[in-house]
Each structure stands twice: as C-alpha cells, then as structure tokens.
Amino acid sequence: MNTQYTFNNLINGTHREGYDMVETPLQERQEALHQFKTFLLGYTREGSKPNIAIYNMDVIRCLPNTCGIFNRLVIGERGVEYIAGQNYTDEIATIKQIIVKECY
C-alpha cells in the first residue's frame, strides 16, 4: 500500500501508485477498514449509534459515500490518524455523524 491511504481511497476502492489510480485488492481494503474502524471506535461509547454504525461498516455491504473530510482520515507510516483542519473534536464528531447517517 502507498505511504498515505485515505478513507476515501477505501470507499472508492482505488489508491495512487505513481501518477495512476489503481484498484485496491479486496483483502487490502478489508485490512484498511479494520484499522479505520479500530481508530474510530476509540471515539465512541459502547452501544451508541456511532459505535453500532462503525461496526456495521463493511467493504462489500455498507460504506458511507465519499466526503471531503474523509481525505483527512488516513493510514500513514504511524498508523491511522486524523489530520485536523480547525477543530479535531468537532471534525471527528462530523465523521461519526456521516457514518451513522449512512450505515446505522
């Protein structure tokens, strides 16, 4: 996998190799989703709507639609991280709201 893989890459099923966008194999997408879910579950309360929606996410059955904010949720050299713009807490809450809307 390339050095930075975004949540949008996961949703689209593609990633950049050099100057080209190439399809990401299903197994790599599933592994990436597991990492994103583990990261996001750390910001939810057990049994809450966001918690259930994140657990419901699946590469084949249910992923949210692409969204600009998802480009800031990345798997990089240090694992999964969120690159905040203005307010980390509010932006994580927005990500959870989007996921609840699409996957709950």
The pairs formed by 36-41 with CB atoms below 8 angstroms and a separation of 24 or more are 36/7, 36/10, 36/73, 36/75, 36/80, 38/80, 39/73, 39/79, 39/80, 39/81, 39/82, 40/95, 40/96, 40/99
Answer yes or no: is pLDDT of 2 > 50: no
The rounded mean pLDDT for the chain is: 94
Q: What was the pLDDT predicted at 3?
A: 63
pTM metric for this prediction: 0.92
Number of structural domains in the chain: 1
What is the DSSP code (8-state) at residue 58?
Answer: B
Write out pLDDT tens, residues 3-15: 689 999 999 999 9
- Which residue segment(s) compose the domain that 84 sits in? 5-103
